[in-house]
């Protein structure tokens, strides 16, 4: 399977990413660009996007980029910096780029922006390669 097919295979089983209404814009080896509309159910008590939603969105980008070669990888460590509050009606984009790759781990930079290309959050995710194929899980 090519990277897009692997990402689509994963997405078909990823009910949480489907619930978030994520759309895959572009998928290449160890890279993805995804988009998500901000719904009312994603808003916290301060009328901004819940941080957990933003984190989960970045985590989905990490999953689709780090597994799309067909070799399964799981999150080992993730860090996020929130830079701007999102609002209901926004459209978030997450771009995941491989920055370091070793035999057992890889590090990805993920930038989340809104429809105005304003930086919402910066996420760095380290994955552990578990030695299995995505289709074996």
The per-residue pLDDT for range 20-71, each reduced to its tens digit, is 999 999 999 999 999 999 999 999 999 999 999 999 999 999 999 999 999 9
Give the pLDDT score at 60.
98
Report d(CA 59, CA 50) in Å as an integer: 14
Report d(CA 54, CA 4) in Å as an integer: 23
Helix (H) or strand (E) holding 126: strand 119-133
Give the pLDDT score at 39.
97
Of 44, 43, 8, 37, which is closest to residue 20 (Cα–Cα)? Answer: 37
Work out whether the CA dihedral 52, 57, 61, 64 comes out positive or negative. positive
> Going from the N-terminus, what domains does the chain have, and what CATH number goes with each?
3-136 (3.10.129.10)
pTM over 0.85: yes
Backbone angles phi, psi at 136, to 5 degrees: -85, -10
pLDDT category of residue 134 using cuts at 50, 70 and 90: very high
User: How far is C-alpha 78 from the chain's CA centre?
Assistant: 11
Q: What's the count of helices (H) and strands (E) in the chain, helices before strands?
A: 3, 6
- Close Cβ partners of 51 (under 8 Å, ≥ 6 residues apart): 44, 80, 82
Going by the DSSP 8-state scheme, the letter that residue 52 receives in this structure is: H
pLDDT in tens, 76-98: 999 999 999 999 999 999 999 99
């Amino acid at each position: 399977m090519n990277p897009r097919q692997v990402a689509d295979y994963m997405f078909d089983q990823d009910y949480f990413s489907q619930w978030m209404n994520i759309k895959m814009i572009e998928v290449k080896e160890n890279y993805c660009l995804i988009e998500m509309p901000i719904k009312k159910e994603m808003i916290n008590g301060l009328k901004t996007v819940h941080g957990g939603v933003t984190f989960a969105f970045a985590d989905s980008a990490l999953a689709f980029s780090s597994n799309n070669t067909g070799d399964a990888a799981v999150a080992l460590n993730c860090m996020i910096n929130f830079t701007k509050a999102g609002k209901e009606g926004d459209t978030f984009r997450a771009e995941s780029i491989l920055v370091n790759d070793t035999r057992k781990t890889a590090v990805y930079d993920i930038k989340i922006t809104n429809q105005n290309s304003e930086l919402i959050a910066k996420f760095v995710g380290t994955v552990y390669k578990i030695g299995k194929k995505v289709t074996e899980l």
